[in-house]
Structure 1
Amino acid sequence: MSKVKLEIFDNFAKQYFNELKCPSSNLINAMKYSFFSGGKRIRAQLVYIVSEMFGVSIQESNKIAFAIEAIHTYSLIHDDLPAMDNDSLRRGVPTCHIKYNDATAILAGDALQSIAFKVLQDLDIKDVKVLKKVNSILADCSGTDGMVAGQQLDIDGENNNLDIDNLKIVHINKTAKMFCASMLIPYTVSNNYNKNIAKTLEHIAILTGLCFQIKDDILDVTKSTKELGKTSAKDISSNKSTYVSLLGIEKANELLNTMTYEILESIMSIESSSVNCSKLKNIIKLVINRNH
């Protein structure tokens, strides 16, 4: 994300939190602690990029990006809890339940989830059907047809040797579906909706999410805890199947390159409709080439 867009996003988020009605300062502080603890903001970047591609205003983009990042942050808070991944470090700082406590972390995640849907209600959309579709996309991608289901599949897969196809199902839901929300919601609120382009964007989002996960698995065994900002080799210690454990680093990199090529081919089909996709290509490169 450009420094300008990042500053615009952070200012919007800070203002939203400052205006949020809540009688518990401890709850708000826990929410803000995790939300502003750093991170690559890749999902927010996707929102701004797709918005720019299809003419969505910065005001609406801010709301969508905030909703997506609120859901993402809630998922990280809950993912780090002792009952889940039991991690003490996230983005280089103590996780929410370590900084506060388990109960406050759970409630902070719950609250972030609820305000994500609240902020979407503030979108300047006259067509009620479009607003309902936007909320349905976020609910599906973050819930039982997406991220939460993927998390459960991930837990179910512990101490089981998943094959590559079942591992793909886990991460399409756990990771890639929120990439779908990041791209499909801004496109849905644009005035340029076309079912074929929407389908292509969804395909790109799924592949980008899978590439993100493959790269995560590679970094998990090649980088230190300090470099990653989170506990390294965590999946190995939890006896989870990963792309590296199933394929090895070399084959995992080959799969990453194959998916990247497929993403770029799909982007070309959108470019044929006279849409500037240069920034979308750049963020794909960021996902593939990142070192943490």
Structure 2
Amino acid sequence: MIQANDLKSWQQKAQAQTEILLAHLMPSENDVPEKLHEAMRYVTLGGGKRLRPLLVLAASELGEADQDAVGQAMAAIEMLHVYSLVHDDMPAMDNDSLRRGKPTCHVKYGEATALLVGDALQTQAFDVICRPTALPAARQLQMAATLARASGSLGMAGGQAVDLDNVGKAMTQAALEQMHSLKTGALIRAAVALGALACPDLGETDLARLDGYAQKLGLAFQVIDDVLDCEADTATLGKTAGKDADNDKPTYVKLMGLAEARAYAETLVADAVAQIEPFGEKAAHLRQLAEFVTARKN
């Protein structure tokens, strides 16, 4: 059984691996246009939980993974995630001035550059995930398609649109969960799927079990995000606390109450862990990452 300190050591190594991959796979700030590349590296390097790359890596431990494909997927999904944060923080969206404990991209570099940073990171993600590996071409194409679906109008971007359309409105739990299954959950599901797809020996039954895990985990992550927005301070979060309440956004805390929302997240995590029981100890890091979601402070 993997202990908590072993998980922490694995997380630190995986986060360091992600940092190296991102630094290597993004354009240098010395390349033209220098300001754009500097801003891309500013928002991407040196911060964040790296949950999505960690999920890619943990899922890849279930089979005989192609390590080049795993590394490219880890970097690509983090680039997509960071692009979403850059755009989400802009004045037309959530209008936040702090992200990962430092000024947001539009505050430091201006709105036009921030818009281009998001655009460039999104396309860079697909450049990276399409680079040659030893995987069968059809499998690698499936990885690229998974990433595309998770980030578009039927995934993350669509969820953000629903969120913006419902500011100040009451939402049922079913509607709230549908929104967050797109806005937050789609990229978490993609991360787990990408790690599994990098293992040519994992089949459709394995992928289905992992998708069940990821669906529950994605919802749990968002529920805890809503809880932390109420409970934690700005210094701990690394972003402005209380923004959801200030912006009158629909949240699980508003719908259920604080204690009930946290209890619901714990139930979702338990359901997620149950989905991956058939994988045994190979899924130890996936299991502990799920438990980390409810225990985290930011």
Q: Say whether the fold is shared (TM-score over 0.5).
A: yes
Q: Distance in 2 between matches of 1:175 and 1:255?
A: 17
Q: Which amino acid aligns with 2:285?
A: K
Root-mean-square deviation (Å): 1.6
Tell me by how many angstroms 1:16 deviates: 1.9
Conservation of the 8 A alpha-carbon contact between 1:172 and 1:206: yes
Q: Distance in 1 between matches of 2:232 and 2:224?
A: 11
**Which residue in the other structure is 1:256 paired with?**
265
The residue correspondences of 1:91-240 to structure 2 (distance < 5 A) are 91-240=100-249
Conservation of the 8 A alpha-carbon contact between 1:47 and 1:61: yes
Conservation of the 8 A alpha-carbon contact between 2:160 and 2:183: yes
CA spacing shift, 1:144–1:42, aligned 2, 3 Å? same
Task: Output one character per residue of 1:53-108: Cα deviation in whole Å (capped at 9) or x when no partner.
Answer: 22214332211100000000000000000000000001110000001000000001
**Which residue in the other structure is 1:71 paired with?**
80
**Which residue in the other structure is 2:39 paired with?**
30
**Which residue in the other structure is 2:5 paired with?**
none
**Which residue in the other structure is 1:39 paired with?**
48
3-state SS of 2:276 partner? helix
CA spacing shift, 1:19–1:252, aligned 2, 3 Å? same
Conservation of the 8 A alpha-carbon contact between 2:61 and 2:282: no
Q: Which amino acid aligns with 2:62?
A: M
**Which residue in the other structure is 2:68 paired with?**
59
Tell me by how many angstroms 1:20 deviates: 8.7
Q: Which runs of 5+ in 2 are unaligned?
A: 1-9
Q: Distance in 1 between matches of 2:11 and 2:148?
A: 28
Using the size of structure 1 for normalisation, the TM-score is 0.94
Count of residue pairs brought into register by the alignment: 289
Q: Distance in 1 between matches of 2:189 and 2:31?
A: 31
CA spacing shift, 1:66–1:21, aligned 2, 3 Å? farther
Q: Which amino acid aligns with 2:58?
A: I
Q: Distance in 2 between matches of 1:132 and 1:107?
A: 26
Moved over 6 A (4+): none
Conservation of the 8 A alpha-carbon contact between 2:56 and 2:195: yes
**Which residue in the other structure is 2:97 paired with?**
88
Q: Which runs of 5+ in 1 are unaligned?
A: none
Conservation of the 8 A alpha-carbon contact between 1:37 and 1:93: no
**Which residue in the other structure is 2:276 paired with?**
267
3-state SS of 1:2 partner? helix
Conservation of the 8 A alpha-carbon contact between 2:229 and 2:243: yes
Q: Is residue 294 of structure 2 the alignment partner of residue 285 of structure 1? A: no
Conservation of the 8 A alpha-carbon contact between 2:79 and 2:122: yes
Q: Distance in 2 between matches of 1:21 and 1:268?
A: 48
CA spacing shift, 1:126–1:20, aligned 2, 3 Å? farther
Using the size of structure 2 for normalisation, the TM-score is 0.93
Conservation of the 8 A alpha-carbon contact between 1:50 and 1:187: yes
Task: Output one character per residue of 1:172-217: Cα deviation in whole Å (capped at 9) or x when no partner.
Answer: 0000110111011121231223212111111111111111111111
Tell me by how many angstroms 1:162 deviates: 0.8
3-state SS of 1:86 partner? coil
Conservation of the 8 A alpha-carbon contact between 1:73 and 1:112: yes
Identical amino acids, percent of aligned pairs: 33
Tell me by how many angstroms 1:21 deviates: 9.3
Tell me by how many angstroms 1:251 deviates: 1.1
Q: Distance in 2 between matches of 1:114 and 1:13?
A: 14
